[in-house]
Amino acid sequence: MNLVAVGISFRSASVDLREKIAFTEPRRDQASGDLASRYGCEAAVLSTCNRVELYLARPGGESLPDVNLLAEFLGEYHGVLPADMRPHLIERRGADGVRHLFRVAASLDSLIVGEGQIAGQVKTTFEAARAVGSCGPFLNALYQHAQKTAKRVRTETGISKGHVSVSSVAVDYVRQVFDHFGDKTILVIGAGKMGRLTLKHLQELKPKRILVTNRSPEKAQDVAAECGGVAVPWESLDDALIQADIVLSTTGAPEQVVSEKRYAPVRGKRSGRTAVILDIAVPRDFDPAIHDGETTFVFNIDDLKGIREQTLARRRTHIERAEAIVDDECKRFLDDWGRRKNGQLIARLTQEFEAKRREVIEPLLGRLNGKLTEKERQEIEGAFRLYQNKLLHGPIAALGEASRDGNGPALLEAVRRLFRLE
């Protein structure tokens, strides 16, 4: 197996360079085809906002272009000087390249470890390469194994558990308090950008109704129209707070909108009903003292960001286990590929030994015909077969080991010559 992975990522290059050499989808597919035809190999181009990587492979063992040639290729495509790119390019060959792709697909090399997008991007990359004909048997097998590895990491570790966007974390909190939403009222206060994003997530819960209020009635109408809610006057905020089960506050007000003193009568009129207040405004709209942890839960932007950090820290604790899975799958892939690639040669070698054994044993048994019992005849045949297997064991095991170490092609050639299998 001969594989090279060359590219840049957020670890090695700034966004300035990354955006310069990023590929659009049509250009990516064109580049895959060009690489394959120019260097006579299998090729795929992975391009995301955080990385651009070229994967080239030759199952046979002939050498592949080095990092300088590939820097020139990228330079030609994007009009960037190869010398500017060269210090940022990372090259991984053979088993290292396999391991790298598995880590990328499993989101271990991502900016946000455990994010789910990258597995889909890897899938799209290799499927596109297959569509343009640049993805052959090796890259195809490699990509399928990468997907399998990503799935194992996702299901056997907690690396992808939890949400890391503020709006998703907010919805997670709401789900910890409420079970069903068909009877719930959401109140949206203000019309901030972050608020609209969170509201989109909340809408997916299919609440009974959405009330929208804003100092500007026009803005309230706009947001209400967007989310299929009802605009209520700013003066009716307290009444709306009494009705609401979930409050999403996102005003740009320079001062606090609802103090504890103002909320106390609201709480009294809610008949002990639970309320979740998502205060994602800065400065905060709700007095933190309103959070009593009994019937009223207030989560502000810092709480939500804190959860995001906790989630990321939690994900990091799963990295060690995930790396072990990647190592395990990497070894399996190399073994499988080695077996697949060596399979033909081993079959020929076995046939050759089989024929030689027959050449020796059949005349011998012919000469001894009538002098041996059936049992003695079987024992002689068995002994020769055992001898043949013992002789074959050494070369077959060595071929497997060489495939894993990256010395497979040389040893394959040696075995071919030694046993005259041409």
Q: Which residues are known to be catalytic?
A: 49
Nearer to other proteins, 293 or 370 (CB): 293
Candidate list 137, 306, 363, 382; residue touching other proteins; CB under 8 A: 306
Quick note: the x/- pattern for other proteins over 344-383, rule CB under 8 A, is ----------------------------------------
Candidate list 55, 73, 138, 173; residue touching other proteins; CB under 8 A: 173
| 15 sits near other proteins (criterion: CB under 8 A) | no
| 307 sits near other proteins (criterion: CB under 8 A) | yes
Residue 185 neighbours by CB under 8 Å, 6+ apart: 207, 208, 209, 210, 211, 243, 244, 245, 246
DSSP code of 204?
T
DSSP code of 299?
E
Which listed range, 176-184, 209-217, 339-347, 407-415, lies at the site for other proteins (CB under 8 A)?
176-184
- Please give the residues from 120 up to 139 whose contact with other proteins meets the rule CB under 8 A: none
Candidate list 272, 366, 370, 394; residue touching other proteins; CB under 8 A: 272
- Please give the residues from 17 up to 56 whose contact with other proteins meets the rule CB under 8 A: none
SS3 of 106-119: the string is: CCCCCCCCCCCHHH
Backbone angles phi, psi at 23, to 5 degrees: -105, 140
Nearest to 409 by CA among 56, 60, 4: 60
Backbone angles phi, psi at 298, to 5 degrees: -110, 125
Nearer to other proteins, 69 or 177 (CB): 177
d(C-alpha 291, C-alpha 197), whole Å: 24
Pairing state between β 2-9 and 51-58: antiparallel
β partners of residue 274: none
| 164 sits near other proteins (criterion: CB under 8 A) | no
Nearer to other proteins, 133 or 306 (CB): 306
Nearer to other proteins, 93 or 314 (CB): 314
* Residue 232 Cβ vs other proteins, minimum distance, rounded to whole Å: 25
| 177 sits near other proteins (criterion: CB under 8 A) | yes
Candidate list 11, 38, 151, 175; residue touching other proteins; CB under 8 A: 175
* Residue length of the chain: 422
Ramachandran quadrant class, 131 (left: phi over 0; alpha: psi -120 to 50; beta: rest): alpha
* Residue 80 Cβ vs other proteins, minimum distance, rounded to whole Å: 42
* Residue 128 Cβ vs other proteins, minimum distance, rounded to whole Å: 34
Nearer to other proteins, 92 or 315 (CB): 315
Nearest to 205 by CA among 224, 184, 235: 184
Candidate list 303, 325, 329, 399; residue touching other proteins; CB under 8 A: 303
* Residue 272 Cβ vs other proteins, minimum distance, rounded to whole Å: 5
Which listed range, 39-47, 99-107, 177-185, 254-262, lies at the site for other proteins (CB under 8 A)?
177-185
| 180 sits near other proteins (criterion: CB under 8 A) | yes
| 311 sits near other proteins (criterion: CB under 8 A) | yes
| Locus of tokens 């609440």 | 207
Residue 177 neighbours by CB under 8 Å, 6+ apart: 274, 276, 297
Residue 10 neighbours by CB under 8 Å, 6+ apart: 18, 50, 51, 111
Nearer to other proteins, 25 or 328 (CB): 328
d(C-alpha 231, C-alpha 243), whole Å: 14
User: What number of chain residues touch other proteins (CB under 8 A)?
Assistant: 28
Residue 422 neighbours by CB under 8 Å, 6+ apart: 416
Backbone angles phi, psi at 240, to 5 degrees: -65, -35
Candidate list 235, 254, 271, 390; residue touching other proteins; CB under 8 A: 271
* Residue 325 Cβ vs other proteins, minimum distance, rounded to whole Å: 12
* Residue 119 Cβ vs other proteins, minimum distance, rounded to whole Å: 20
d(C-alpha 418, C-alpha 219), whole Å: 83
| 202 sits near other proteins (criterion: CB under 8 A) | no
Nearest to 229 by CA among 260, 194, 248, 203: 203
| 179 sits near other proteins (criterion: CB under 8 A) | yes
Candidate list 26, 228, 293, 366; residue touching other proteins; CB under 8 A: 293
β partners of residue 5: 55, 92
| 148 sits near other proteins (criterion: CB under 8 A) | no
State the residues that interact with other proteins by CB under 8 A: 156, 158, 161-162, 169, 172-173, 175-180, 271-272, 274, 291, 293-295, 297, 299, 303, 306-307, 310-311, 314
